Amino acid sequence: MAELCHCCSGKAFSECCEPFLSGEQLPETAEQLMRSRYSAYVTVNVAYIIETTSPNFRKYYSPKSILEWASNSTWISLEILSSSEKRVKFTAVYLDEKQQLTRHTEDSRFEKINGRWYFRDGK
Ligand SMILES: [Zn+2]
């Protein structure tokens, strides 16, 4: 059986986030981008996380802290709570660097620039 995608979609990785992470395809929706960014955290693909952050907001995110968060965490699950054209609310569950079970709920905003979806910010 094919490897299931990290983003908990229930689809095969090769038919879900992998084509986005490898750059073969561009996500068509904010939710696809959000899911692929979660998969990028799981696979510690810092370059993808930076590339898919809006050029207008990239300065607020440090590659070093993304790398530390991604690699010091054990990613358990992603649940999409709600999703609309430009917003995705989700909960990511992971063990932090002290092995504490953590639930990170975020309301993320996305924007489309020149036909490409980017993550803007979240709260
Ligand atoms: Zn996926």
Question: Considering the domain boundaries, does residue 66 fall inside one?
Answer: yes
Q: What is the CATH number of the domain that holds 29?
A: 3.10.450.50
Of all residues in the chain, what percent carry a pLDDT higher than 90? Answer: 98
What pLDDT, on a 0 to 100 scale, did the predictor assign at position 31?
98
What pLDDT, on a 0 to 100 scale, did the predictor assign at position 57?
94
Do you know the residue count of the chain? 123
Question: Considering the domain boundaries, does residue 3 fall inside one?
Answer: no
Q: What pLDDT, in 10s, does the model give residues 62-97?
A: 999 999 999 999 999 999 999 999 999 999 999 999
The pLDDT mean for the chain works out to: 97
Q: What pLDDT, in 10s, does the model give residues 2-51?
A: 899 999 999 999 999 999 999 999 999 999 999 999 999 999 999 999 99
Residue 78 CB partners (closer than 8 Å, separation 6+) = 6, 7, 8, 35, 38, 90, 91, 92, 93
Rg (CA), the chain: 14
Which residues have beta carbons under 5 A from ligand 1 (an ion)? 5, 7, 9, 16-17, 35
What pLDDT, on a 0 to 100 scale, did the predictor assign at position 1?
66
Q: How far is the CA of 98 from the centre of ligand 1 (A)?
A: 27
For the chain, what is the domain count? 1
Q: How far is the CA of 33 from the centre of ligand 1 (A)?
A: 9
Q: Domain residues for 113?
A: 13-122
Of all residues in the chain, what percent carry a pLDDT higher than 70? Answer: 99
Question: Considering the domain boundaries, does residue 69 fall inside one?
Answer: yes
Question: Considering the domain boundaries, does residue 6 fall inside one?
Answer: no
Supply the pTM of this predicted model: 0.96
Question: Considering the domain boundaries, does residue 4 fall inside one?
Answer: no
Question: Considering the domain boundaries, does residue 38 fall inside one?
Answer: yes
What pLDDT, on a 0 to 100 scale, did the predictor assign at position 44?
97
H or E element that contains 48? helix 46-51
Question: Two tokens at 70?
Answer: 């991604």
Question: Considering the domain boundaries, does residue 2 fall inside one?
Answer: no
Question: Considering the domain boundaries, does residue 1 fall inside one?
Answer: no
